[in-house]
A = this chain, B = another copy of it.
Amino acid sequence: MAENNPHILVVDDARDVRDPLIRYLQKNSFRATGAESAAAARKLLRTRSFDFVVLDVIMPGEDGLTFCRYLRENGEIPVLFLTGKTDEVDRIVGIELGADDYVVKPFNPRELIARIGAILRRVKALPPRLKASVPPRVQFDRWVLDSVRRELLDERGVGIPLSAGEFALLSVFVERPKVVLKREDLLDLTSGREALPFDRAIDNAIMRLRRKLEAHPRFPQIIKTVWGGGYVFAAEPVIL
């Protein structure tokens, strides 16, 4: 897996905070993407992969604290709060919610970078047992995906080896069944890189996966093509 730069999601309704911060993060060799609301952030999280969330506390609609709670219930992505209030209660509540740190606006961008870096190093060093883990075995169609052994098991339990790319792609699909995933999303989720113009890497990976997965690769039943859209995992995954 390409060890790419950490991808940071900046959630703030104020464009005059969000956009300069994204540019600053990108100048400091992070990947950064913005969302102007919790709802927009949820949507991005559904299809793309992030390593870190920078979150404004006060936003129209769902506020940052609520959204942070949701993030904590659904994973362990690190969260850093941006807060306008120096109010002590806000800080404590933020940390109790599971935030990893907070910065009071107006902030020094260099300090923000330093704190993000510190948290990412800390998280990277965490023992794996604490990390949000993919279920070890998932069944779908006539297969079982074993994510420890990184292979497919057929009905009789015979293992079919998967390459790293095939395993990564299939894992992404199994975790997001019945969602149309664009090529750029798949590329981001599997190798963490941006698509080049005329990038056919995903098409090839799909084809190679179908050859192992599908009974009749020319008429795929599990990974379907959405013309002009991308691909969908059409089977029903069951966690074992």
Contact = CB atoms under 8 A, between A and B. Distances in A.
A163 B93 CA distance: 39
Contacts of A124: 66
A234 B149 contact: yes
Nearest to A180: B1
A122 B65 contact: yes
A125 B65 CA distance: 9
Interface residues of A, number: 40
Contacts of A140: none
Interface stretch (A10-18, A24-32, A202-210, A221-229): A221-229
Report copies per complex: 2
B70 A164 contact: no
A127 interface: yes
Contacts of A65: 118, 121-122, 125
A100 to B, nearest CB: 10
A151 to B, nearest CB: 9
A12 to B, nearest CB: 18
Interface of A: 1-2, 63, 65-66, 69-70, 73, 89, 93, 97, 101, 115, 118, 121-122, 124-128, 148-150, 161, 163-165, 176, 178-179, 219, 221, 224, 226-229, 232, 234
